Amino acid sequence: MFTKSAVRSHRFAVLVGALLASTPGLAWASALDGAAEAAADGAPGDTIIVTGVRGGKPRTVAESPAPIDVIQGQALSNNTGRADLAESLSRLLPSINFGQTTAGINSVVRPLSNRGLGPAYTLVLVNGKRRHNGALLTNGGGDTSGVNPVDFDIIPLSSVGYVEVLKDSAAAQYGSDAVAGVVNVVLKSGNSGFHAAASAGSLYGGKGDLWVYKAEADVGFKLGDGGFLHLSGDARKRGIAWWNFYSADLPYSPASNPKNATWNGDGAHNGDPEVRAFNLAYNAELPLGGDTVLYSFGTYGERDTVIGNNYRRPNGLASFDVLFPDGYYPLNNTDEKDYQVLVGLRGETGSFKWDLSSTFGRNHNRQYSDFTINPSLGPTGPTRFDNLATYQFEQWVTNLDLTRGFDVGLSEPLQVSAGVEYRVDKFSTFAGDADGYRNGGYVFKAGDQDGNPNVGKPASVGAQAGVILSPADEVRLTRKSVAGYLDLGIYPAKGWYVGAAARVENYDDSSGTTVGGKLNSRYDFSPAVAIRGTIGTGFRAPSLSQIGYAQTDSRTGINPVTGVSGPSLSKIVTPDSAIGRALGAQDLKPEKSFNFGLGLVLRPLDRLNVTIDGYQVTVRDRISRTGTLLGPAVGRILIANGLTGGEYITYFANIADTRSRGVDVVVDTTRDLGSAGKLALLAAFNYNETKILKIADTPAALTALVPTNTGGSLIYLTRAVRGDLTVTQPKTKLIFSGNWDVDAFNLNAQLTRFGGYQYIRSELASQDARYGAKWITDLSVSYTFASKLRLTVGAANLFDVRPDENGQVTTSTGSASSVYGQSPFSAAGGFYYGKVSLDF
């Protein structure tokens, strides 16, 4: 067995060198980042925010009419160890969880959830502007909805000034996909300054390559009279690692192959894929005279991955002794390129402030394999496939926003904001090499395998471990939408704020036209006590990927009835396909949501903030994948449509109504200890519970098949799918963190408690697995020399805590993923690291 990356080591080294050799500048401060940095010396609640309110006087976190968290870029970069941007956010925020997906191409897409709702329900902005989606779908980690979420990890950490997370519905303000809230990544915007850093670290244990290397740099320049250009970049390399349960006692049939007697039980290399990536970003502003400013920002990234998979044994239907006398671990590789560019003008005309911008983004991902075979082509078939499938998502968005304050005789002006948005989304998939998906019809012969256990049997079909797209799976979808909004903010009395927003969106497909609204209010009884609340509606059109994505998957699958894992050929079919229609699929309907929130804000002492916010979000006609459809009656339909009849079939459907209900509690303070330095403390808690209120009726076409398919109506919405919606994520998450600065010394510590969760594997309740709560400790220590050179050593998951060992070790793999379930924290265990940084 061997592994090799498509990205050569010298390429990574050149990138690291280029980053660290960047020309230095001086310090930086824009209006937004300057405010944020100034507030960093006080309590986090004193940070100025720009998300969730339009126009009017600047507001701090503690003054916001809606719950919001702010994470400084330094915290993301310095104190999260192995994590990239997406995982870093989940480690620092109680309401955000990070899906751990450890198998196949889905291990590249690790979905973030906010308040118990998947990535489809949180809008991502960069500098207040919509970020384009990735091209790959979610299919694990607690989300099987088939959306193609924004890929945070393409944004370089070195470019991030701070991140605002609005934990409240903002669909009427920003777009229909802001049901659970908004994440706004604010880029650094200084006209001088230089920062460079390099880090290295290793997992405490495991198999494979346990090391991670990172390098980052950013620099600011003056641009014109009062403008700036800020450049950022990072490069990283993470080794492929896995942490299985090895046992020579795991049985496997047939036993005729003598190699079984010496198998060490290492049945899968599922875990963290190898990643080699670099990301670049710029952020710029140029005053043009008067009140007009030209601004632009952009990102570019490349990422190559090598993904491990389940072991193909020498006596299975996917191996030949002449090629792999001891079996093999097939590889799944991806080559990804991503970019986004925005250009805009803002200014003031008369009493109106205006902002006009246009942005285009594209994510392109090619899947290939440099170590696999299509067994049906026989022992002389290729062992490398340069193209198995290609995915692409493009988005073009143009916005015009206007805002003005009107003096209406109240304590504060009436703030009126309005705007329009034109958006074009394109989702495309492209077929791969025909040798990757075609059935070569090879039948095992004597001499193909030691002991001849499979003579006369047909070999497996499809490039092993790959997600394969054939011409029949290809799709080109384009959707255009036009939206307009009106946002009002008024103070009916001193200390009382009322905001109202309405949004109209029109889609040029079956999603049609929708109207959404939001009403929120805050009343300050005194500087120490305030209440706030929100009600609103949302409307989410089906993602283009949910409407049109189809694939063939030759990886190991799980029988939904028995829970047995084994080789399978699985297919996702589109709702409008012949197979989909025959199995009851219907055109997808838009999802509709209603949210309610009520909160209490307390400032009992100076620099002490306490917020308690309850919420409830109801989603009707929620879209997810159906359960796996299989069996004799399904097989006859598949054969009639040109398939073998043994495939596992799923499609996307409006499958349930759900309700997510919970509470966020955040307490933060910063204390000046005099000669003992400064101490910042934070405690944060989230409780969330999602329930299924209604399950969609099983389509008549499926009901007719029930007599010949074990499982009855549960074949449509299996226990496993229901588990993904309700119990995969922990109900509680608790964070205690402290940061102590004294002279040149800094100590940062965080203790996180992840509540228990469950893994629903199949229709058999006996196979359910429950996992207890775990405490994770993160610690880092830094020392700064001459105010410029900073050395840091740290450990993420200091005590190497892992999920409970529960569930079943599958006899074919021994994979830890089946034992740990879908852990809300990294199952890789502890990670120690060192970092050196230089700042001017």
pLDDT (tens digit per residue) in 732-768: 999 999 999 999 999 999 999 999 988 877 777 777 8
Query: Exposure of 564 by Cβ count < 10 A (0-12 exposed, 13-18 middle, 19+ buried)?
Result: middle
Return d(Cα 808, Cα 411) in angstroms, integer. Answer: 64
Collapsed DSSP state (helix, strand, coil) of residue 96: strand
**Would residue 4 count as lying in a domain?**
no
Starting at the edge strand found earlier in the chain, the sheet holding 181-187 runs 68-72, 160-166, 181-187, 122-126, 129-130
Give the model's pLDDT for residue 199.
Answer: 94
Query: What CATH code is carried by the domain that includes residue 739?
Result: 2.40.170.20
What is the number of structural domains in the chain?
Answer: 1
Domain containing residue 213: 9-839
Residue 319 in tokens: 């191996």
92 bridge partner residues: none
Residue 333 in tokens: 């590789």
Give the model's pLDDT for residue 647.
Answer: 81
Chain-centre distance for alpha carbon 181: 14
pTM: 0.89
Return d(Cα 819, Cα 809) in angstroms, integer. Answer: 6
Collapsed DSSP state (helix, strand, coil) of residue 158: helix
**Would residue 2 count as lying in a domain?**
no
Sign of CA dihedral 299, 481, 106, 571: negative
Give the model's pLDDT for residue 6.
Answer: 38
**Would residue 120 count as lying in a domain?**
yes
Give the model's pLDDT for residue 619.
Answer: 94
Least Cα distance to 761 among 562, 554, 555, 465 occurs for 562
Degrees to nearest 5, angle at CA 732 with 728 and 736: 130
Sign of CA dihedral 77, 80, 81, 86: negative
**Would residue 128 count as lying in a domain?**
yes
**Would residue 3 count as lying in a domain?**
no
Q: Which residues of the chain, if any, have pLDDT below 70?
A: 1-46, 55-58, 78-83, 99-106, 139-142, 245-265, 554-568, 706-715, 807-818
Residue 704 in tokens: 């007719």
CB of 305 closer than 8 Å to CB of 274? yes
Give the model's pLDDT for residue 561.
Answer: 54
Give the model's pLDDT for residue 765.
Answer: 76
Give the model's pLDDT for residue 691.
Answer: 94
Give the model's pLDDT for residue 553.
Answer: 73
**Would residue 1 count as lying in a domain?**
no
Return d(Cα 264, Cα 262) in angstroms, integer. Answer: 6
Q: Could you give the C-alpha distances from 834 to 218, 606, 782, 795, 814, in angstroms and in order?
A: 20, 36, 10, 9, 33
341 bridge partner residues: 298, 360
**Would residue 363 count as lying in a domain?**
yes
Return d(Cα 278, Cα 153) in angstroms, integer. Answer: 10
Return d(Cα 185, Cα 691) in angstroms, integer. Answer: 31
Give the model's pLDDT for residue 801.
Answer: 94
Tally: H helices and E strands in the chain: 12, 42
Least Cα distance to 668 among 657, 684, 692 occurs for 684
Return d(Cα 59, Cα 45) in angstroms, integer. Answer: 10
Give the model's pLDDT for residue 680.
Answer: 93
Give the model's pLDDT for residue 404.
Answer: 93
Q: Of all helices (H) and strands (E), which one includes residue 609?
A: strand 608-625
Chain-centre distance for alpha carbon 565: 26
Least Cα distance to 731 among 696, 777, 770, 776 occurs for 770
Q: Could you give the C-alpha distances from 822 to 399, 577, 753, 817, in angstroms and in order?
A: 39, 31, 16, 7
Q: Of all helices (H) and strands (E), which one includes residue 73?
A: helix 73-78
Alpha helices in 84-231 (DSSP H): 85-92, 171-174
**Would residue 393 count as lying in a domain?**
yes
Least Cα distance to 56 among 399, 487, 420, 350 occurs for 487
334 bridge partner residues: 305, 367
